[in-house]
Amino acid sequence: MSEHVPTVYIVDDDPGVVRALVRLVKAHGYQAVGFGDAWAFLDARAADPGPACVMLDLQMPGMDGIALQRRLDGELPVIFVTGHADVPSTILAMLAGATDFLLKPVQEDALLASLERACRCAVARHLEHEEMAGLRERLERLTPREREVMAWVVTGRLNKQVASELGTVEKTIKAHRASVMRKLEVGSLAELVRMADKLGLPAVAAARTPHRAGAGAGA
């Protein structure tokens, strides 16, 4: 999947370290780009939201490594490569989800093993992000009434039961349900339920306060 080859960003205020790491990473077949500070990296990242991971120094002027990791907020896998580690910083980095915490001078085998894990994670996160974006785009195709019907359907209720809850007729619910399935590109109730779960959609709570039978027959 060449379109999903991750970029390895290297952020360190030591130009010599950046050059050495970029050469090493490229020599093993990865795409690598180096930066001397966090802000330059963030500008570049904003222009290229593709799959990526970052190899990051801990102590840098301006925004340090921990602050940058917090700024990323889990968007990218982070590998710390630093010569200034201490226990509190290590704990903070790992608790915030760092893939690895390596000490300079880092052993090449250890770095490459860590990089492989981070790149696999980067591709997985990117694919998940693309999937969620696609699911949200499909969800936007639904009308408010179709979303309301979907909220009841994913509870497992039959069409006639949903019709009763929404104060309409079974034929109307059947038509809405078919439209929901078509617009969301799902072929079964199980797929619809999985999609709702992935999107974090509540079931009946997503619908407006239901009408009861006899409250009106309009759709």
When pLDDT is cut at 50, 70 and 90, the band that residue 121 belongs to is very high
In a domain, 152, yes or no: yes
**Same domain as 107, residue 6:** yes
Same domain, 110 and 175: no
Cα three-residue angle 172-177-183, rounded to 5 degrees = 125
List the CATH number of the domain containing 199. 1.10.10.10
Q: Between 97 and 137, where is the model more confident?
A: 137
In this structure, is residue 85 part of a structural domain? yes
> Which of 77, 111, 135 lies at the terminal end of a domain, its last residue?
135
Is 215 inside a domain boundary? no
Range of the domain at 17: 2-135
Residue 180 CA: distances (Å) to CA of 131, 169, 177: 18, 17, 5
| C-alpha closest to that of 84 among 75, 93, 76 | 93
- For 66, 76, 163, the CA distances from 91, given in Å and listed in that order, are 11, 18, 55
pLDDT surpassing 50 at residue 122:
yes
- Residues comprising the chain, all counted: 219
pLDDT at 187 over 90: yes
Nearest-angstrom CA–CA distance, 190 and 23? 49
pLDDT band at 210, cuts 50/70/90? very low
Does residue 219 lie within any of the structural domains?
no
Please write the tens of the pLDDT for every residue from 130-168.
Answer: 999 999 999 999 999 999 999 999 999 999 999 999 999
Looking at residue 216, its pLDDT comes to 43
